[in-house]
Amino acid sequence: MKYIYNSLIALFVITTLVSCDDELTKDPIGLLTLDQIDSSPTITTLESSVSSSYQLLSSTLNLIGEWNWDGGAVLRNDFILQDIAANDMNKKWNPDGDQAWMDELSAFSFTADNGAFNGLWLYDYEGINRINLAISYLTNPEVTQSVGISDSRKNQLLGEAYFLRAFYYFDLVNNFGDVPLLTVPLKSFEEAFDVAIRVPSTEIWGQINSDLAEAKALLPNAKYPSPSEPWRASKGAVIALQAKAALFNEDWGTVISLISELDGLGFYSLNTNYFDSFDTTKEFSDNEVIFAYDHVSDQNPRNGNGLCALIGWGFIAPSADFINAFESNDPRLLYTVDVVNQNVSKLLGNTVGDNKGNDDAPSNKIFIRYADVLLWKAEAMNETGDYSGAITIINNIRSRARTTATADGSIVPLGTLADRPNSTDATQIKGWLMSERRVELGFESQRFNDLKRWGTAKTVLTGLGKNFQDKNYLYPIPQGEVDKSGGTIVQNPGY
């Protein structure tokens, strides 16, 4: 089968009709020409159409192009747009002029030409393009009957596909607001021009919720729908993403209801040890990780975690403000980052520096884990007046942290991470929650979205000397996409 995603590296490369312009040779991404459609698909075609759609969630190097640093496409750049933007992370341990576009992002001095936005746009829409192709196969009775796929496997793959499309659109709508909505493979330039227009974010949220509802109905009630492939999206991942979508839309009652539904599955709990979620020797055997990308070394094509290479090159360091956010003797700090040895343990998958500099490392990328979900529930409880319930969850998170065996073998002093006291002050409890989320989820690419949805990004980041403006609550549409669309894709205000 010939896949469009190996040859196209931008979403809507729709060009002006100028003769002798190399741009005329580029097709819009999302556009399937006749020779790119497999007229005789097999079960392998259907399987690979879904499996390949996960790939754009990975941190593998050079999935799109070769060393396209300026285009932000060397690897998936959530760590830049979330952790660096939120001032939890510095670009490097020793500041230098390398990859200055990352510094512009950190300082909020960027323009719409910054490669970080282009990279995010490419990865998410490439994932959506692959998913739309997969869904077109799996919802075509002639195809599924001709290849002889079982109903249970078809439903599982289709459920995964709907989940992944929702996941990619969740990322897009939170970063860019209104975005183009693609739900089918495109077969002509006319179709490509028709969809090269931003639709209201409410419509994107509607599509996300619709896709997740479809996915939940299709996936089996199992922790791993395929025990031999535990990396695949599960019903638990679907319910968790439904809850996160409700959280971001401040639908507090739905958040609580969905997390209760998730708990009813009986699959997830806090690990005894905080680091077990990140330990490469315990991947898919712990109780806390709900959805992660499965990086594997020594694969062809490569499937390792390229972030570990960047760590070896001196990238990815904690800010002083992030370090200072931890209370004294909190074991989570050393499990997140070893300042003395300049190791980012959470991303390396161990606490001794193994995989540092390895561009094919096996450490997984965690997107959803149960501690994160519990803190969503605590936030929703606080917003709906269940103050004791919210505090109980916060204290459960703190208890797990203080009873975790430390990374260096030291003893956690008595009184470390003491329980939060009873309170009916919603503002105080929310402050505790905000602090807990930062240290519990540090370097997991959650912080900037949190600051934005809480409406505190401007206050927090200007207080740290950043040039954050109101317009920065949304990132700019990549300027190249605006230009190439001939004006049908409109830029966000202020850019």
Taking only the tens place, the pLDDT of each residue in 127-141 is 999 999 999 999 999
Looking at the structure, tell me whether residues 302 and 212 fall in a common domain.
no
pLDDT computed for residue 31 by the predictor: 52
491 part of a folded domain: no
Q: What percent of the chain has pLDDT over 90?
A: 88
Q: How many whole angstroms separate alpha carbon 262 and alpha carbon 439?
A: 24
pLDDT of residue 20: 28
Task: Indicate whether 205 and 299 sit together in one domain.
Answer: no
- Count: domains in the chain: 2
- Please tell me the predicted confidence (pLDDT) of residue 203: 98
User: Residue 484's closest CA among 170, 121, 175?
Assistant: 121
Q: Which domain holds residue 318?
A: 265-465
Residue 38's pLDDT is 62
**Residue 32 pLDDT more than 90?**
no
DSSP, collapsed to helix, strand or coil, labels residue 246 as: helix
- Predicted confidence at residue 188, as pLDDT, reads 72
Does residue 336 have a pLDDT over 70?
yes
Nearest-angstrom CA–CA distance, 336 and 347:
8
pLDDT tens sequence across 436-457: 999 999 999 999 999 999 999 9
Measured over all CA atoms, what is the biggest interatomic distance in the chain, rounded to whole angstroms?
75
Q: Is the pLDDT of residue 21 over 90?
A: no
Domain co-membership, 292 together with 440: yes
Give the pTM: 0.93
- pLDDT tens string 73-88: 999 999 999 999 999 9
SS3 of 419-474: the string is CCCCCCCHHHHHHHHHHHHHHHCCCCCCHHHHHHHHCCHHHHHHHCCCCCCHHHHC
Q: Tokens 């402050």 sit at which residue?
A: 431
Residue 479 located in a structural domain: no
12: pLDDT confidence band, cut at 50, 70 and 90? Answer: very low
Residue 24 lies in a domain: yes
Residues 6+ positions from 385 with CB-CB distance below 8 Å = 426
Q: Give the residue from 165, 185, 219 where a domain finishes.
A: 219
Report the CATH number that the domain containing residue 445 is assigned in CATH: 1.25.40.390
Residues whose CB falls within 8 Å of the CB of residue 102, separated by 6 or more in sequence, listed in order? 80, 84, 91, 116
Cα dist from 352 to 94, 340, 444, whole Å: 21, 12, 19
- The yes-or-no verdict on residue 6 having pLDDT over 50 is no
| pLDDT for 395 beyond 90 | yes
Residues 314 and 444 in one domain: yes
| 209 and 269 co-located in one domain | no
Residue 237 covered by a domain: no
Residue 14 confidence (pLDDT) above 70: no
Verify that 214 and 301 share a domain, yes or no. Answer: no
Spatial separation of the C-alpha atoms in residues 380 and 388, rounded to whole Å: 12
Neighbours of 18 (CB within 10 A): 8
What confidence category does residue 273 fall into, taking pLDDT thresholds of 50, 70 and 90? very high
Which helix (H) or strand (E) is 415 found in, with range?
none
Average the pLDDT over 102-119 and give the result. Answer: 97
Residue 316 lies in a domain: yes
Q: Is the pLDDT of residue 102 over 70?
A: yes
**Percent of the residues in the chain that have a pLDDT greater than 70, as a whole number:** 92
Tokens of 379: 């936030």
Q: What is the mean pLDDT of the chain?
A: 92
pLDDT score of 19: 26
- pLDDT tens digits for 406-418? 999 999 999 999 9
- How far the first Cα of the chain sits from its last, in Å, is 40
Domain assignment present for 172: yes
In terms of C-beta distances under 8 Å and separation of at least 24 residues, what long-range contacts does 428-436 make, across chains too? 429/382, 429/387, 429/390, 429/391, 429/394, 430/379, 430/382, 432/391, 432/394, 433/375, 433/378, 433/379, 433/382, 433/390, 433/394, 435/325, 436/375, 436/394, 436/397, 436/398
End of a domain among 192, 219, 246?
219
Domain identity same for 13 and 86:
yes
Q: Give the number of other Cβ atoms within 10 Å of residue 324's Cβ.
A: 8
pLDDT confidence bin for 238, thresholds 50/70/90:
very high
Q: How confident is the model at residue 15 (pLDDT cuts 50, 70, 90)?
A: very low
Over residues 208-213, the mean pLDDT reads 98
Kindly report each contact of residues 248-254 with a partner whose C-beta sits within 8 Å and lies 24 or more positions away, as own/partner: 248/174, 248/449, 248/453, 249/205, 250/383, 252/379, 252/380, 252/383, 252/384, 253/380, 253/384
Report pLDDT digits (tens) over 372-382: 999 999 999 99
Considering the domain architecture, whether residues 208 and 280 belong to the same structural domain is answered as no
Beta bridge partners of 31: 186
Question: Region 323-347: what's the mean pLDDT?
Answer: 98
The answer as to whether 239 is a domain residue is no
Q: Are residues 297 and 366 in the same domain?
A: yes
Residue 230 forms part of a structural domain: no
Identify whether residues 214 and 270 lie together within a single domain.
Answer: no
Residues 171 and 23 in one domain: yes
Per-residue pLDDT tens digits for 416-437: 999 999 999 999 999 999 999 9
Residues 343-348 have a mean pLDDT of 98
User: Does residue 317 share a domain with residue 210?
Assistant: no
